[in-house]
Structure 1
Amino acid sequence: MNLPGAAGGARDTGAGDAADDELDAALALVNGRSVGRHDPAQPPSEGGGPDGAASSHPRPHGGARGETHGAARGASHGSSHGSPHSGRHDLPWPRARHIAGSAAGPLGRLALPLDAALGHALAEPLTALTDLPSFDTSAMDGWAVAGPGPWRTEGSVLAGQRSTTALLDGHATVIATGAALPPGATAVLRREHGRTTADGLLHATRGGPGPGQDVRPRGQECRGGDELLAAGVLVTPAVLGLAAAAGYDELAVTARPSVEILVLGDELLDAGAPGAGRVRDALGPLLPGWLTALGAGTVSARRLKDDAGLLQDAVTASTADLVVTTGGTAGGPVDFVHPVLERIGARLLVDGVAVRPGHPMLLAELPGGGRLVGLPGNPLAAVSGVLTLAVPLLRALAGRPAPVAYEARLTGDVHGHPTDTRLVPVVLDEESQAAPLHFSGPAMLRGIAAADGMAVVPPGGAVKGDRTAVLETGWGRL
């Protein structure tokens, strides 16, 4: 089906093989598998119609803050985009994502009590401290019986109790679900399958239980020393329950990275309706909770004026594992991220990505050992930057495994960029097909706010029925 506002368009039929290669690479990378280095793509323009859907024909760059290259970065569409960093190319999207996921290793190990371990990743395998169950257990309310019936009943055993008196053949005792079987018991007769007579004997009403019936034998789930979960598994409520059941009081986990967000821009408003050349800060509210859901620990955010000195002071003074800047990554008159990084001696790992929206994103290694992700200032372009660079980097720092990617068939055509990957908001229908949404321009959030994920559309576009990788946003974990 085509939802109202679904993006349309057709794929360049000459890009079919490249599209398949791009999909395979995207699925490999979001599944945590490396791919070979590709030749850097040469992105001409952001392109787009009134709804922000990229056209298959390039057009000159505009002047959107942090999203386009202005005069200071050069107007050339040659191999380096006119960057002051000689020879810089926008990296293919799969390659950039791979570099981000390899840019750091897991942080240090912590031993945390169970109630503090939620949301961390296991730093070592979770092994069974004992057999589970650690004793033969009744799976039902009823009677523990010994041998064939009828049985003479005596006493009872409740959960948490343990009988030391052995049952003799022909005898039974009342037992509760979860209680330890008394010695000599051969099976459990369910309460609804037995009746007692006036002479005090217990009779089976549906035939006697076979040996071991309705008994959870010792070690049914695991034996002591078995590996229950591998290192890197995310500690969820279910993992906490398993750890507690296995006898753990604390877990060895990987520390979650600290993040400092620097929101740049004199044009941003903190309150009220936009107007008179000012726009609301959308990324200040959007990023902190999202980055926490993606694996960050402590997250702080603050606004900075468009001032190179203030930005340099903030970056050099930060003790966070990851600094995230918004805006200022292009070449406009107040885009100071590149000059500041050059001045402090940072090492650029990614300087531009062949992806739309969001190509002027960057990743740098700071002199003090931290990392910096520079996001474009346009909101959807920034979302693209988070999914491309911040997600794999946070996962690496937090010791989390790459999630298994999934693919879905498109319900409609999607315009493509001639050379760049596109990330397009999609909503999944009842058949798990991906319906492309309108309002996918770099400055728009209307599409992504309604989306279930972002489809990875290869250069040249895609047509209805094509399979595409879909990136989860992680908002479902908030």
Structure 2
Amino acid sequence: MPIDWAEARATAWQAGYEARPNPETTGFEAALGSALAAPVVAASDLPAFPTSAVDGWAVAGSGPWIVTGEAALAGAVPAPMGTGDAVKIATGAQVPEGCEGIIRLEHTDVRGELIDGDPDREWREAGEEAKLGEELIPAGTRITPPVLGLAAAAGQASLDAYRKPRAGMVVFGDELLTSGPSRDGRVRDSLGPMVPHLLAAAGSTSPEPIGPVADTLDEHVRALREGLETADLVCTTGGTMVGPVDHLHAALKLVGASYIINSVAVRPGFPMLLARTDEGRFIAGLPGNPQSAVIALISLVVPLLAGLRGLSLPELGEITVSQDVPGRGDFTHLSLVDRSGRRLGHHGSAMLRGLARAAGFAVIAPGAEAKAGQTVPLVTIPGVSA
């Protein structure tokens, strides 16, 4: 019995979250995209010393002031100032000891060695943004480029994070060509070139695909075992039904995998599955039809990878549809839409033409439909900005 699509997403995420690895202390690049396993704290006051917010003149005492000493530049410790002194100062430079105000460069009256103007406190105080030891970002936060920037500014050189999962791919099918146009009853493989990039965009590292693999049980088992040697997750394409050359289900049993999910009530994309081996590695069975394979990936694989990285279940977006979108009875309907909410043509399970122009899939709940102007959930495609 297929399970509800929303339940399938949550189940896949929970399986990943429970199997997430122990956190590691790692460099910024390796941590990007995963969750913080420990808070980021300030290794010093931020800023660590008073810094000028403008280009101008640092002054002490009452004006007019006499220009003295070297300019205060970023990256150096300036000499202390005496009463009546003026020193040119650059944005970001440490404010000299004894400074009582800064006159913006554009507001300064310069007459030879004398300057005049209206000084103000044009600097950031030490610790204005954060104090030494203060928590800046809580554990569980997704590590984005701005998070890395703040961690660096706070004096950190590494982060405690969950490593990126390794996601391999096995392509099944005697009928698949790896070059040239479709011909002689055989079709060009589109999933091998596409899915590894979707996996990478979803937060995994992804080696070269294995295959196309011959449609025999022995070859299916061999390819699965090869992929599972190094991957936390192996995505397969095709073989999720029970046709004469659909060997995936039998192969799962032979590699010691048990089902977490064995079909989801969603259209398109119905024959999908998620399994786990006795060693705790995952296998996601994606349908052979390209659009259905992408739907299986966003339904099961994206939530699983989020859990493995210590992240929460990815939230759905929203989109206002500009046309009526029918339901699919007891199944969730994922309908291709563009950024204006318009339903796209060429949306059959085997087609990619509509997918290549899509913002994502409008989510129509079981037993429902959407009318033009109605706002519905949107599930996006990894690497494609909605």
TM-score normalised by structure 1 residue count: 0.75
Give the one of 202, 205, 225 matched to 2:133: 225
Shift of 1:338: 1.2
CA drift at 1:389: 0.2
Determine whether 1:203 maps to 2:116.
Answer: yes
> Which whole-Å deviations, capped at 9, do the CAs of 1:263-313 have from their partners, x for residues lacking one?
001111111111332111110011011101101124331111111112123
Select between 375-384 and 150-159 the one with higher mean Cα deviation.
150-159
* Offset at residue 464 of structure 1 (A): 0.6
Query: Equivalent residue for 1:186?
Result: 100
* Equivalent of 1:96 in 8, 25, 28: 8
More divergent stretch after superposition (231-240 vs 351-360): 231-240
User: Alpha-carbon deviations, 1:312-340, whole Å to 9, x = none?
Assistant: 23323422100111110111011111122
CA distance in 1, matches of 2:301, 2:36: 21
The residue number in structure 2 matching 1:305 is: 214
3-state DSSP of counterpart to 1:104: helix
Contact 1:259–1:322 (CA under 8 A) maintained in structure 2: yes
Partner of residue 257, structure 2: 346
Matches within 5 A, 1:105-254: 105=17, 106-155=20-69, 156-168=71-83, 170-198=84-112, 200-204=113-117, 208-210=118-120, 212=121, 214-254=122-162
Match of 2:202 among 294, 300, 304: 294
Shift of 1:224: 1.6
Match of 2:371 among 454, 463, 467: 463
Question: Aligned partner of 2:25: which letter?
Answer: A
Kindly provide the CA deviation profile for residues 78-127 of structure 1, in whole angstroms up to 9, marking residues without a partner as x.
xxxxxxxxxxx100100111100001232232323335444443332211
Q: Give the alignment's Cα RMSD to 1 decimal.
A: 1.8
Structure 1 gaps, min length 5 = 1-88
Query: What residue in structure 2 maps to residue 450 of structure 1?
Result: 357
Q: CA 1:97 to 1:116, structure 2 compared with 1: closer, same or farther past 3 Å?
A: closer
Q: Report what 1:384 is aligned to.
A: 295
Q: Which has the higher contact order (CA 8 A, sep 6+)?
A: 1
Tell me by how many angstroms 1:437 deviates.
0.9
Pairwise CA distance, 1:342: 2.9
* Mapped contact 2:165–2:204 kept (Cα < 8 A): yes
| Larger CA deviation: 296-305 vs 107-116 | 107-116
In the aligned structure 2, how far is the partner of 1:148 from the partner of 1:435? 67
CA contact (8 A) 1:259 1:300 kept: no
Structure 2: unaligned runs, 5 residues or longer: none
* Cα deviation 1:386-442 (Å, max 9, x = unaligned): 01000000111122344443212110011221111111111113xxxx211111111
How far has the Cα of 1:149 moved from its partner? 2.4
Matched letter for residue 305 of structure 1 = A
2:348 corresponds to which residue?
441
Matches within 5 A, 1:31-70: none
Q: What count of residue pairs does the alignment treat as equivalent?
A: 378
What CA distance in whole angstroms lies between the structure 1 residues aligned with 2:304 and 2:199? 11
Task: Name the counterpart of 1:323.
Answer: 234
TM-score by length of 2: 0.93
CA distance in 2, matches of 1:329, 1:151: 82
**CA 476–127 in structure 1, closer or farther in 2 if over 3 Å, else same:** farther
The 1-side partners of 2:275 and 2:28 are apart by: 35
Question: In the superposition, relative to structure 1, how do residues 345 and 116 fare at CA in structure 2: closer, same or farther (>3 Å)?
Answer: closer
Contact 2:16 2:306 (C-alpha < 8 Å) held by counterparts: no
Among the aligned pairs, what percent are the same residue?
A: 42
- Indicate conservation of the 8 Å contact 1:167/1:182, yes or no: no
CA contact (8 A) 2:58 2:102 kept: yes
Q: State whether residues 257 and 295 of structure 1, in contact with CA within 8 Å, keep that contact through their aligned partners in structure 2.
A: yes
1: CA distance, partners of 2:10 / 2:311: 15
The verdict on how the C-alpha distance between 1:114 and 1:418 changes in structure 2, with shifts beyond 3 A counting, is closer
